[in-house]
Structure 1
Amino acid sequence: MKWNWGKGIVVGMISFMAFILYMVITMSTDKKYSHDLVTEEYYAKEMKYQTEIDAETNANLLEGEINGILTPEGWLLTFPASIDASSIKGTVSLYRPSNELLDFEIPLAITDGKQLIPDHKLIAGRWNITITWSDGDQDYMYKKSISY
């Protein structure tokens, strides 16, 4: 059998196609390469998106802004003085993009204009904080990405 450049090209193409086929099958069947959506109920969340936009707009219209700083006790959120802590109800949600098992939610409990997210609940890395609250008349939402 004579070996020439034509047979080399065909063998090379077949080898490349076999490699790509192997990678596609491996990536689609191995549980280690899970390709799930970031959030479980993505489409239901998308339907409520306009209410989130309105709530974020309400939060942006407040006098002052919500600030967060790193302290030895955890992440300390400071709220503007215009927020009456006695009349609001809400939650602080922390979302970890790299691991959904680390996500958690705590009730909004503002004391002296501050809310502490305890250090023992947070690990180093990126977190998305979403604070949602209502004063009875309007809904508010604050979103921020932090590096802890």
Structure 2
Amino acid sequence: MLKLSQGVCHQLYVVQSIEANEKLKKRLQDLGIVPDATIVLIQSNKDSGIVMLKNSRLALDIQVLSLIEVKEQATRKEWLSLDQVAVGQTVKVVGIHGQGAIKRRLMDMGVTKHLTIFVHKVAPLGDPIEINLRGYTLTLRKAEAALILVERDVAV
């Protein structure tokens, strides 16, 4: 079995089991980390990792990540933030992570879950990013694009 601490970033995994004491298992269960849950390792370093679970980002210690056994999900999809998508790629919105006014502003501009977005242009220094959605062109700052979690198919 693969431990989540050994996982590849932006890969979808299915939780198989949690090898922890009852108190920690209960805490993880309260957070939604249970067997058969889909989880994505968004970011990882030697001390901690950030996981995506049901549109929530959770920061977990590397020791906790090493207690979670996972397997790769059968579908070949990759989750990443919109600012990491290359020019010419088409992606699907999975979630928006902004809080309050910024999330409302993105949604008012038409960025919603399950929307297909085409990355049209990126400025030479990476900011801003021009995207096509709902039949029009929208330009976003890199910081705004980083708040939009998208899914793309991975070639096998």
Q: TM-score, normalised by structure 2?
A: 0.21
Q: TM-score, normalised by structure 1?
A: 0.22
**Which of the pair is proportionally richer in helix?**
1
**Which of the pair is proportionally richer in strand?**
2
- State which structure, 1 or 2, has the greater radius of gyration over its C-alpha atoms: 1
